[in-house]
A and B are shown apart, each in its own frame.
Chain A
């Protein structure tokens, strides 16, 4: 069931990606019912598969991250009319599910090592925070692309199909402002699980968790306290996200293996 639902989700996310990319390839844009329906249908079957997973190891985390990205994509399109977000989230979610399948998803639910529900909550909330940081990165990247299009007076597909700069800036701002408390809660739950639940936690997990929290805190700080906006804020979001991903990869290279997330 885990495998079937992930394969179905993979197909539907791939379809949603095709719908997102089609207008940029000069094809007629798909109706809104399809651009929203395909990822939502994918997310629905994905939830069925994710519900049976134990969020331990790289593959389940990638799968849950893909699910959150798709859900955030749908929200972005509905609330911000930012369908261009799917240009990033579509391939990203499809790639993450494919990678999770390649690494190998456990066919049955296994008990989480120690901590029980609190550990599960910590992992889920932390992944949601990471997805929000990714969304901030995507909004920032879209902002910079549209900015370049407008400055260079190209008026091509990016000009036509991307949302206005101000809306992308708001999406970036909102993602960071929502992402920071989410990651903070995730980190606090992690400490709770570690000290109150007695679950063993590696130093790498602590380092990466704290780094993500600090990066998000800094990105929110420069936006809210120092009133950065526009291009400068976009660069800050991109730099923060890239730092989080690079540090994860470095830590993972130091201790390879897919059994544990870190």
Chain B
């Protein structure tokens, strides 16, 4: 009875290695089949840009080596995947998945995309997961949802793009339907220093292309201006846009300058109702949100710990039933064998007496087993049964249960 995680993540492997280990959904069934053939009761492969992890139920001793060998094939000569990886077992493996699903193990703390990726991994591996991992992944998704609803771990905008959306969202009630002017390359109106480039991008996005000179007039009507040209100096100057902005009639204008060096002259930000933000501002918003999220980590970890115990109680209980059955069966076989031997030596006994002796052997065995059985069941229900069960298996030679 065991659960294990074998894999790499953004903390243990650089991007150059992680991208080699990434598995497309179509590659997952074959990769899992290869790992499971080394001996495991079920597997799920979670592969994202930040991690490649094999979650395995009842893994055999050869499993880690098989995973490392398979991943090493994707590396250049002389390197081994195991240098970048980790193996986590049992409760820690459950905790690991719950932390991943909750966004506690993400590069951007609390990011929510991972929740969808965990779901996709589970669905892609569904036919190979087995009942224990089904339950584990279902509960991991619930843990992720619980952490996000009961803590503020996912609150705020902790990346530059989400910071840009958060900034615009603090000026406008809703962002849908806003007129956007994109200077550089990228939605309703697209202006570029090269008109042909602007037209190509605009056609792709269903927008309208402008030359840069035509763009200045649109500062009177646009709600959001996004700039990211490769110009070596500011192209949006006070002289060029102040007249158009003056015609806005008090409506706010959000300018997001993503270029380095900056595209927008700082003086433009001094204009009434103009909110100008550059890449440093976006990073400041993202950093603030990340700091806020760190305050939520203890609360999120508490939820994870609670849920790990809950899962382990279920898992321990699940494992206790066949072990106890085997344990009782093994001792009953011993009782029957010893009884038969004893009765051969006591051939003078009447059938009634023989029945009494057999009854006695049953009663004695039940007396012996009563307390350990109750204690094991209680320990398993409380999530503390794993160690006891392992001891029982070793002491009474029940390991063959693992083989089955």
Residues of A within 8 A of B (CB): 28-29, 146, 150-151, 153, 155-156, 159-160, 162, 164-167, 170, 227-233
Min CB gap B218→A, angstroms:
20
Min CB gap B142→A, angstroms:
20
Please name all residues of chain B whose beta carbon is closer than 8 Å to the beta carbon of A170 when the two chains form the complex: 173
Indicate whether A230 sits within 8 Å of B250 (C-beta atoms), given known contacts A150-B170, A155-B285: yes
Please name all residues of chain B whose beta carbon is closer than 8 Å to the beta carbon of A153 when the two chains form the complex: 277, 281, 284
Closest 5 CB pairs of A and B: A166-B173, A229-B250, A230-B250, A167-B173, A166-B172
The CA-CA distance from A29 to B295 in the complex, in Å, is 13
The CA-CA distance from A40 to B282 in the complex, in Å, is 39
Contact, CB under 8 Å: B171 / A164 = yes
Contact, CB under 8 Å: B251 / A165 = no
Total contacts A-B at CB 8 Å: 51
Contact, CB under 8 Å: B170 / A165 = yes
The CA-CA distance from A240 to B152 in the complex, in Å, is 39
Min CB gap A28→B, angstroms:
7
Interface residue tally on B, bucketed by range: 20 to 34
Contact, CB under 8 Å: B273 / A230 = yes
By secondary structure, the A interface counts as helix
User: Contacting B251 at CB < 8 Å: which of A159, A160, A162, A229?
Assistant: A229
Chain A residue with the shortest CB-CB distance to B275: A150
Indicate whether A159 sits within 8 Å of B170 (C-beta atoms), given known contacts A28-B152, A231-B272: yes
- Looking at B170, B173, B281, B288, which has the most chain A CB atoms within 10 Å of its CB? B170
Contact, CB under 8 Å: A231 / B281 = no
The CA-CA distance from A165 to B167 in the complex, in Å, is 11
User: Contacting A164 at CB < 8 Å: which of B170, B272, B285?
Assistant: B170
Contact, CB under 8 Å: A151 / B275 = yes
Q: Can you identify 29 A-B contacts, CB atoms within 8 angstroms? A: A29-B152, A150-B170, A150-B171, A150-B275, A151-B275, A153-B281, A155-B281, A155-B288, A159-B170, A160-B156, A162-B170, A164-B169, A164-B170, A165-B170, A165-B171, A165-B172, A165-B252, A166-B173, A166-B252, A170-B173, A227-B250, A228-B250, A229-B251, A230-B251, A230-B273, A231-B250, A231-B272, A231-B273, A233-B250
Whether B177 is near chain A, meaning CB under 8 Å from some CB there, is: no
Please name all residues of chain A whose beta carbon is closer than 8 Å to the beta carbon of B288 when the two chains form the complex: 155-156, 160
- Give 17 A-B pairs besides A29-B152, A151-B275, A164-B170 with Cβ atoms closer than 8 angstroms: A146-B170, A153-B277, A153-B281, A155-B281, A155-B285, A155-B288, A156-B288, A160-B292, A164-B169, A165-B171, A165-B252, A227-B249, A228-B250, A229-B249, A230-B250, A231-B272, A232-B250
**Residue interface mask B225-266, A partner, CB < 8 A = 1:** 000000000000000000000000111100000000000000
Residues of B within 8 A of A (CB): 152, 156, 167, 169-173, 249-252, 272-273, 275, 277, 281, 284-285, 288, 292
The CA-CA distance from A151 to B271 in the complex, in Å, is 10
Chain A residue with the shortest CB-CB distance to B280: A153
Please name all residues of chain B whose beta carbon is closer than 8 Å to the beta carbon of A162 when the two chains form the complex: 170
Please name all residues of chain A whose beta carbon is closer than 8 Å to the beta carbon of B156 when the two chains form the complex: 160
By secondary structure, the B interface counts as loop
Please name all residues of chain A whose beta carbon is closer than 8 Å to the beta carbon of B249 when the two chains form the complex: 227, 229
Please name all residues of chain A whose beta carbon is closer than 8 Å to the beta carbon of B171 when the two chains form the complex: 150, 164-166
Please name all residues of chain A whose beta carbon is closer than 8 Å to the beta carbon of B292 when the two chains form the complex: 160
Min CB gap B35→A, angstroms:
43
The CA-CA distance from A160 to B288 in the complex, in Å, is 10
Please name all residues of chain A whose beta carbon is closer than 8 Å to the beta carbon of B281 when the two chains form the complex: 153, 155
Indicate whether A230 sits within 8 Å of B252 (C-beta atoms), given known contacts A164-B173, A166-B171: yes
Please name all residues of chain A whose beta carbon is closer than 8 Å to the beta carbon of B275 when the two chains form the complex: 150-151
Indicate whether A164 sits within 8 Å of B172 (C-beta atoms), given known contacts A155-B288, A231-B272: yes
The CA-CA distance from A232 to B249 in the complex, in Å, is 11
The CA-CA distance from A153 to B280 in the complex, in Å, is 10
The CA-CA distance from A153 to B270 in the complex, in Å, is 12
Please name all residues of chain B whose beta carbon is closer than 8 Å to the beta carbon of A165 when the two chains form the complex: 170-172, 252
- Looking at B171, B251, B252, which has the most chain A CB atoms within 10 Å of its CB? B252
Please name all residues of chain A whose beta carbon is closer than 8 Å to the beta carbon of B152 when the two chains form the complex: 28-29
- Looking at A28, A153, A159, A227, which has the most chain B CB atoms within 10 Å of its CB? A153
Chain B residue with the shortest CB-CB distance to A31: B150
Min CB gap A232→B, angstroms:
6
Chain B residue with the shortest CB-CB distance to A149: B170
The CA-CA distance from A230 to B272 in the complex, in Å, is 10
Min CB gap A155→B, angstroms:
5
The CA-CA distance from A48 to B400 in the complex, in Å, is 75
- Looking at A159, A165, A233, which has the most chain B CB atoms within 10 Å of its CB? A165
The CA-CA distance from A165 to B250 in the complex, in Å, is 12
The CA-CA distance from A239 to B156 in the complex, in Å, is 34
Min CB gap B34→A, angstroms:
47
Please name all residues of chain B whose beta carbon is closer than 8 Å to the beta carbon of A160 when the two chains form the complex: 156, 288, 292
Please name all residues of chain A whose beta carbon is closer than 8 Å to the beta carbon of B273 when the two chains form the complex: 230-231
The CA-CA distance from A246 to B281 in the complex, in Å, is 41
Min CB gap B155→A, angstroms:
8
Min CB gap B279→A, angstroms:
13
The CA-CA distance from A28 to B156 in the complex, in Å, is 14
Please name all residues of chain B whose beta carbon is closer than 8 Å to the beta carbon of A227 when the two chains form the complex: 249-250
Chain B residue with the shortest CB-CB distance to A158: B170
The CA-CA distance from A226 to B277 in the complex, in Å, is 30
Chain A residue with the shortest CB-CB distance to B284: A155
The CA-CA distance from A167 to B171 in the complex, in Å, is 8
Please name all residues of chain B whose beta carbon is closer than 8 Å to the beta carbon of A155 when the two chains form the complex: 281, 284-285, 288
The CA-CA distance from A159 to B272 in the complex, in Å, is 19
Please name all residues of chain B whose beta carbon is closer than 8 Å to the beta carbon of A164 when the two chains form the complex: 169-173
The CA-CA distance from A166 to B275 in the complex, in Å, is 13
